Amino acid sequence: MKNFDIIIIGAGPNGLSAASYLSKSGKKVLVVEKNEKVGGLALYADSSSSLSKKVIDQLGLKINARKKRTFVTSLNDSFNHTVLEIDENNSIKFNECEASLEDQNSFLKLVKKYNLFAKTLSSFMFNTPPRVKSGNKSDLWQLISMGWKVRKLGKKNMRELLRVIGLNIADDLEDNLTNDNLMGILCNEAVLGSNLGPRSPGSILTLLYSNAINGSIFRNNNLDTEQIISSIEQSCHDRGVEFLKSSEVKKLLINNETVTGIEMNDQNIIESSTIISTLDPKTTYLNLIGADRLDTDLIRRVTNFRSKGNVAKVKIEFKNIIKIKNLDEKYIGSKFIYAPNIKYIEHAFNNNKYNNYSKKPCLEFYIDNKNISANLYYIPYLKNGSHDKKEIESNIQLILNNFIDNNELIKFEIDTPNEMEKKYNTSGGHWHHGDMEIDQLLIIRPFYGSAQYETPINGLYICGAGTHPGGGITGINAINASKQLLKK
């Protein structure tokens, strides 16, 4: 086998971005991917985050944005659906709404507040988070500048940010709104993909964080994931990156606390002094490195890293073209949300606490002619056993039959977190490789002892979604990690 400067494990958006970036700076890179197709978990996503635009720029690529989804529709059991229209500048218009004018205004004010805070947060994303006790001046300076960015919000806003950052979303919504549907729309954005319910502390932070990554509160981006993935992959090919697809890494070869290469499942050995793992922290540490090479304290942190996924991906095919009851046809391209009120979501979350799937789940879905692709939550990852998929199917059908006019379901496919784990080697099947909560973000993502994309093993770097700034298909993790690597 040839010699490579760097081996990258995993060809998800981060793996590809890192490969493209590093090969651009002259490194000889090999990307190893378990599956035949590159993209990883990102293949599940409808659109990439808006921040990935900046990554594309840094990689020196050009990409054509598609048309934004303009409508967000929240389905309502009494068929008074709420339809929001969102324009290019993210300003919101109420096309259909049963809420009072006062409520509508408060809603706009709330969104404005969240947008402002999210903007502050998004300015942290493109930096390697500082190390608090390193004694390094640049780390200290960065820490100060992070504080300054918060202070720059002004006294009133800063106080408000610090007040809400640990709060649950339900409290803040109930303080400001009365309409159930409007509350449901925002709750959906706060809890989707996290292990939180509307009343769990910290759910506002997850809302702000996802807002920061996506550049808009409703995640209506104009970047097509598949297009991004294929264009980065193309750039990798152009820059001489080699790919090894359909081959799984068994473990890392480590000698004297330094990586020397990888061993494949077929016993092949590829040597390299630098390896980047884009797998989630648990898989990287416990499977690739092996617990016997780690300090017990670190093993504790790895095993305590919360990475239980609870969103299932569902693909449904209907016999006829789908129509929604009591909704104008021009809104069919919108993002649909079925999370009618706080109580409903909280009840759905209750099942999750006890490792059961929600009997009455929440849905976020897109309609394409006869097809529906949906995010379904809460369907928790199970350590042992599996969910009753037939039961889940009939639960969804009960909801959809309510809203869809005379139609018949002919195909139903579901990927629960357990399947995602198997397909993409993501322990727990979590979208973001690990919960994005206050104790697993920034400086301490994924955990103490593994910050700044480094590991206790010399030459081994991590840049999966389990690192700062987390998941959401940004590729920033890869760019930050590559910069960190090139500094050495």
Partner 1 sequence: MNKNLSYKKPLLETPFHERTLEACYNNDWYRWAGYKIAKEYSSTELEYTSMRNTAGVIDITPMHKYDIKGVQAREFVNKLVTRDVSKIQPNQIMYIIWCNEDGNVIDDGTVFCLKEDHLKIMCAERNLNWFTDTATGFNVKIQDITETIAALAFQGPLSCKILNLLKVTDIENLQPFKFGNYKINKSDVLISRTGFSGDLGYEIWCNPADALNVWDSLFKFNRDYKVLPAGMNSLDMVRIEAGFIQPNADFMSAEQALRTNRMKNPYELGLSWLVNLEKNYFTGKKALKKIKNSKLNKKLVGLDIQGDKPANGSVLYDSNKKEIGIVTAAIWSPTLKSNIAMGYVDSNHMKLGSKVYAEIYHPEELEYKKIWAECEVVKKQFFNNNRKNAIPAYI
Beta strands at 274-277 and 269-271: parallel, antiparallel or unpaired: unpaired
Nearer CB in complex with partner 1: 150/443: 443
Q: Which helix (H) or strand (E) holds 230?
A: helix 225-238
Q: Which helix (H) or strand (E) holds 208?
A: helix 203-214
Nearer CB in complex with partner 1: 133/488: 133
Residue 214 CB, nearest approach to partner 1 (Å): 36
Which residue is it, tokens 């780390």? Answer: 139
Report the sign of the C-alpha dihedral through residues 402, 405, 409, 415, in that order.
negative
Amino acid occupying residue 19: A
Residue 263 CB, nearest approach to partner 1 (Å): 17
Residue 460 CB, nearest approach to partner 1 (Å): 14
Tokens of 259: 């990586």
Residue 332 CB, nearest approach to partner 1 (Å): 51
Residue 22 CB, nearest approach to partner 1 (Å): 27
Residue 121 CB, nearest approach to partner 1 (Å): 31
Q: For the chain, first and last CA: distance in Å?
A: 26
Residue 266 CB, nearest approach to partner 1 (Å): 23
Nearer CB in complex with partner 1: 333/456: 456
Nearer CB in complex with partner 1: 62/488: 488
Residue 473 CB, nearest approach to partner 1 (Å): 31
Burial class (CB in 10 A: 0-12, 13-18, 19+), 412: middle
Nearer CB in complex with partner 1: 133/487: 133
Nearer CB in complex with partner 1: 238/257: 257
Contact partners, residue 348, CB within 8 Å, separation at least 6: 197, 358, 360, 361, 362, 377, 378
Residue 10 CB, nearest approach to partner 1 (Å): 22
Distance between CA atoms of residues 150 and 367, nearest Å: 40
Beta strands at 409-415 and 242-244: parallel, antiparallel or unpaired: unpaired
Residue 49, phi then psi, degrees to nearest 5: -70, 160
Give me the DSSP letters along 75-93: --TTS--EEEEE-TT--EE
Residue 257 CB, nearest approach to partner 1 (Å): 6
Amino acid occupying residue 262: I
Nearer CB in complex with partner 1: 258/401: 258
Residue 450 CB, nearest approach to partner 1 (Å): 12
Nearer CB in complex with partner 1: 234/258: 258
Distance between CA atoms of residues 218 and 83, nearest Å: 13
Residue 296 CB, nearest approach to partner 1 (Å): 4
Helices and strands (H, E) in the chain, number of each type: 15, 16
Nearer CB in complex with partner 1: 355/458: 458
Locate all alpha helices (DSSP H) within 330-403, ordered by sequence. Answer: 342-353, 389-403
Which residue is it, tokens 């890494």? Answer: 249
Q: What is the largest CA-CA distance in the chain?
A: 68
Nearer CB in complex with partner 1: 3/304: 304
228 conformational bin, left if phi > 0, alpha if psi -120 to 50, beta if neither: alpha
Identify any residues that bridge with 96 across adjacent strands, giving them in sequence order: 83
Chain centre distance of CA 457: 27
Report the interface residues with partner 1, using CB under 8 A: 257, 286, 290-293, 295-300, 303, 449, 456
Nearer CB in complex with partner 1: 288/367: 288
Tokens of 405: 């006019």
Residue 295, phi then psi, degrees to nearest 5: -70, 150
> How many other CB atoms sit within 10 Å of the CB of residue 146?
18
271-284 burial code (b ≥16 CB/10 A, e <16) = ebebbbbbbbbbbb
Nearer CB in complex with partner 1: 287/373: 287
